[in-house]
Amino acid sequence: MDPVKIGMFLRKLRKEKELTQEQFAQEVGVSNRTVSRWENGTNMPDISLLVQIADFYEVDVRELIEGERKSETMDKEVRDVATKMADYASAEKSRLLKTIQGISLLGDLILVLSIIWKITTTDFNSADRIFGVQSIYISVLLLVIMAVITLYVTGALEKIMKNRILYTGIKVVTISGIVLGALYLIVLPTVAIGMLIFSSVIEHPQVYEDVNKYNEYMSFSREETYDDEYYKWDKFGMDETIWPAQITADMSVEDFTMVYYNPWDKQYLGYLVVDYKPEDYEKEVERLREYDSSEYVGYYGVEAETSHELLAVNADEYHGFVYALTDGNNRIIYAEQLFCNYFMDLDYTQYMPQEYLLDGFNARQGNPYRSEQLNEKTALQTSDISRKRVKFQINKLGERNVYR
């Protein structure tokens, strides 16, 4: 059997009838490309189509198979055998096609349910929403691919492609959705990360040591104007009233430093050392001891015992500490380390004496406290997703019972 010879014979028969490939394709229910492949000898017609093609061109099946006309005609027995073979092949092909169609439809249904479940269980207000959106986007993309396969195996795709307006509309909507999704999930995050990396390279800690400008660096001395300066010194809303409301002439300031650093997120490091007169020292100690201090032990490894007496502390498990220490000799040290994401990019030991830090304090990247908090957060999110999944399944069960 010579495919090239058969192809040339098919082309000759089509030319004799003065038909285009498109016209002949419509007659036998295939595509133009399929006819072209037959005539080029790349592929050969399915056995189920041989009798139909032979009848259309008014030749014998044997002539099609041999790729040339014969003087004698194929006898009835040979034609009957070929017809039965074609019917058998057609039935087998139909059963296989129905199986594929069923699998495709089942795949579409599973993907639709998966997308619905992900939408109902994703917290779009959380910091991790980007991962949920990525998952939904990938599921939608898989659904589009599966839908195209389903349309193809059911024959609907060919009809859609013939309707140019409908086909163009579907193609534009699909491509636009894919492009927009890619921009949101790939391009924009990449650009944002690039800008953050660039910012971290060019950004340097800003160190302020002029105590005369003390109130410019304290959040409690600023009105809520929401301008750049207010945003810079709002310090996550942490309570800094442990520190003095202002620096007065009778205060002996021995040391003062305030550091602002913003490579990725804002970070603050500061300390103020004041030597008080005995009577003023007593008043300040009394004020600080009356402060409603918060829990702090264990946060970032901080220990209960401190080398200096801890007079007051405002601690936050996410943003850090504002506190006051005393050496018991009329000296009070006001200090703060404020940050987010459970660690500081800033090397705090470079800007603050070790003795002013709370004992055990460790806010370096990869600190044990950060790992512990992130693990707890992951566990809570997993538990929350499980609860939402159960709730979704209960609601679906309730809907089924209503319909029954």
On whether both 317 and 390 belong to a single domain, the answer is no
Greater pLDDT, 299 or 117 = 299
Is residue 245 in a domain?
A: yes
On whether both 382 and 294 belong to a single domain, the answer is no
On whether both 315 and 400 belong to a single domain, the answer is no
Is residue 392 in a domain?
A: yes
Residue 52 CA to its chain's centroid (Å): 53
How many beta carbons lie within 10 A of that of residue 51, not counting itself? Answer: 18
Is residue 12 in a domain?
A: yes
Is residue 98 in a domain?
A: no
On whether both 226 and 281 belong to a single domain, the answer is yes
Rounded Cα distance between 265 and 126, Å, is: 17
Size (the chain), residues? 404
Rounded Cα distance between 274 and 88, Å, is: 100
Q: Residue 391: is its pLDDT beyond 50?
A: yes
* pTM of the full structure: 0.52
Q: Hey, which of 16-30, 52-66, 179-193, 246-260 has the most confident mean pLDDT?
A: 246-260
On whether both 360 and 376 belong to a single domain, the answer is no
Rounded Cα distance between 46 and 86, Å, is: 9
Residue type, 376: E
On whether both 351 and 395 belong to a single domain, the answer is no
Q: Hey, which of 27-41, 42-56, 232-246 has the most confident mean pLDDT?
A: 232-246
CA-based torsion, 44, 50, 54, 57: positive or negative: negative
pLDDT confidence of 403, banded at 50, 70, 90?
Answer: very low
pLDDT digits (tens, 9 = 90+) for 315-372: 999 999 999 999 999 999 999 999 999 999 899 999 999 999 999 999 998 999 999 9
Return the structure tokens found at 5: 């010879």
pLDDT of residue 352: 95
On whether both 228 and 354 belong to a single domain, the answer is yes
On whether both 277 and 387 belong to a single domain, the answer is no
Query: How does 274-301 read in b/e, with b if 16+ C-beta sit within 10 Å?
Result: bebeeebbeebbeebeebebbebeebbe
pLDDT confidence of 404, banded at 50, 70, 90?
Answer: very low
Nearest to 309 by CA among 289, 291, 294: 289
pLDDT of residue 184: 63
Of 26, 44, 74, which residue constitutes the final position of a domain?
74
On whether both 237 and 357 belong to a single domain, the answer is yes
* pLDDT averaged over every residue in the chain: 82
On whether both 346 and 399 belong to a single domain, the answer is no
Q: What share of the chain has pLDDT > 70, as a percent?
A: 80
Return the structure tokens found at 24: 């002949």
On whether both 284 and 387 belong to a single domain, the answer is no
What is the domain count for the chain? 3
Is residue 160 in a domain?
A: no
- The C-alpha angle with vertex 142 and arms to 140 and 147, in degrees rounded to 5, equals 90
Bridge partners, residue 274, by sequence: 253, 332
Is residue 128 in a domain?
A: no
Is residue 387 in a domain?
A: yes
pLDDT of residue 386: 59
Q: Residue 167: is its pLDDT beyond 90?
A: no
pLDDT of residue 126: 58
Q: DSSP string spanning 213-281?
A: GGGGG-GGG--S--SHHHHHH-GGG---TTS-SS--TT-EEEEEEEEEE-SSS-EEEEEEEEE--HHHH
Rounded Cα distance between 252 and 245, Å, is: 15
pLDDT of residue 29: 87
Domain that holds residue 235: 206-365
pLDDT of residue 377: 79
